[in-house]
């Protein structure tokens, strides 16, 4: 049986609340317009699309707390991430985040993507970056023919509801890198905006890599780093075959 296509709340002519005509506005008898509750969701999703940094298709399609390898992770850590997702609006409104660290393949990116996915599904704006890619995009703004200015990119990075930084510490350490990372994290800390971080480095090594000031700000946003230990889940887990292949 083919499931009907799920309509997105940003589709023209569709209001997820059932209160407007899909435009995001309500007209009264005097033709005065007021915002529908769905409008902010549309604005946030458009902001995420314009950043060009949404959640990768693999994670949007496959990541779930109810499926392996997430289901077999440390239950304390898994339940904490689930609770964070259930309370996503309150967490983002309070500027709370999470910081996952562990070896390659331990599931830290999966858990972080599940949180970003929950935020996106709640209608919040999300920007997902690997740190090397983020730094490359910042450098591109220095080109005279760049379509985006540095301040435009900086403002977007600092204003989205959730900034997801993957592979923090994988970048080459330079004074310029330290300055960029601190500027972004500090601005988000000042504005009480959430950050999700994944890294292969424990606290002390990350501090040496990105600077004590930046790590201090991350601690205030995210709390203590959450360790994910064990072998590479990508080597021990294989997705199940679909029904036709398994038959």
Tens-place pLDDT, residues 195-209: 999 999 999 999 999
Between CA 151 and CA 159, with CA 156 as vertex, the angle to 5 degrees is 120
pTM: 0.74
CB 186 within 8 A of CB 221: no
- Per-residue model confidence as pLDDT tens digits over 94-130: 999 999 999 988 889 999 999 999 999 999 999 999 9
- Per-residue model confidence as pLDDT tens digits over 127-179: 999 999 999 999 999 988 888 899 999 999 999 999 999 999 999 999 999 99
CB 225 within 8 A of CB 203: yes
Rounded CA-CA distance 234/200 in Å is 16
SS3 for the chain, per residue?
CCCCCCCCCCCCCCCCCCCCCCCCEEECCCCCEEECCCHHHHHHHHHHHHHCCCCCHHHHHHCCCCCCCHHHCCHHHHHHHHHHHHCHHHHHHCCCCEEEEECCCCCHHHHHHHHHHHHHHCCCCEEEEEHHHHHHHHHHCCCCCCCCCHHHHHHHHHHCCEEEEECCCCCCCCHHHHHHHHHHHHHHHHCCCEEEEEECCCHHHHHHHHCHHHHHHHHHHHCCCEEECCCCHHHHCCCCCCHHHHC
- Domains, in order of start, for the chain: 1-37 (no CATH), 45-234 (3.40.50.300)
């Amino acid at each position: 049986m083919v499931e009907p296509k799920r309509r997105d709340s940003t589709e023209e002519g569709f209001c997820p609340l059932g209160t407007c005509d899909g435009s995001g506005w309500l007209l009264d008898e005097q033709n005065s317009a007021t915002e529908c509750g769905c409008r902010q969701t549309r604005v946030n999703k458009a902001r995420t699309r314009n950043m060009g940094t949404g959640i990768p298709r693999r994670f949007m399609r496959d990541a779930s707390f109810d499926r392996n390898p997430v289901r077999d992770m440390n239950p304390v850590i898994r339940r904490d991430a689930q609770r964070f997702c259930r309370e996503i609006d309150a967490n983002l409104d309070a500027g709370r985040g999470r910081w996952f660290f562990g070896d390659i393949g331990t599931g830290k990116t999966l858990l972080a993507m599940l949180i970003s996915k929950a935020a996106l599904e709640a209608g919040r704006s999300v920007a997902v970056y690997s740190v090397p890619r983020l730094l490359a995009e910042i450098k591109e703004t220095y080109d005279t023919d760049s379509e985006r200015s540095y301040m435009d990119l900086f403002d977007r990075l600092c204003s989205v509801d959730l900034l997801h930084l993957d592979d923090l510490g994988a970048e080459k350490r330079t004074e310029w890198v330290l300055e960029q990372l601190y500027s972004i994290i500090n601005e988000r800390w000042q504005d009480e905006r959430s950050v999700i971080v994944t890294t292969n480095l424990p606290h002390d090594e990350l501090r040496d890599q990105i600077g004590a000031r930046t790590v201090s700000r991350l601690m205030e946003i995210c709390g203590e780093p959450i360790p994910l230990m064990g072998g590479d889940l990508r080597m021990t887990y294989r997705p199940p075959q679909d029904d036709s292949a398994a038959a």
